[in-house]
Amino acid sequence: MEKFETLSGIAAPMPLVNIDTDMIIPKVFLKSIKRTGFGANLFDEMRFNRDGTEIADFVLNKPQYREAQILVAGDNFGCGSSREHAPWAIADFGIKCVISTSFADIFFNNCFKNGILPIVLPQEQVDLLMKDAEKGANARMTVDLEAQEITSSDGDVIPFEVDAFKKQCLINGLDDIGLTMEKVTSIDAFEAKAGAARPWV
Q: What gap in Å lies between CA 131 and CA 140, rounded to an integer?
A: 12
Give the separation between CA 65 and CA 12, rounded to whole angstroms: 6
CATH 3.40.50.300 fits domain 6-197: no
Q: Tell me the pLDDT tens digit for each residue of 118-133.
A: 999 999 999 999 999 9
Query: Cα 156 to chain center, whole Å?
Result: 23
**Domain layout of the chain by residue ranges:** 6-197
Alpha-carbon gap, residue 54 to 10, rounded angstroms: 21
Whether this prediction's pTM lies above 0.85 is answered by yes
Over the stretch 42-64, which tens digit does the pLDDT of each residue have? 999 999 999 999 999 999 999 99
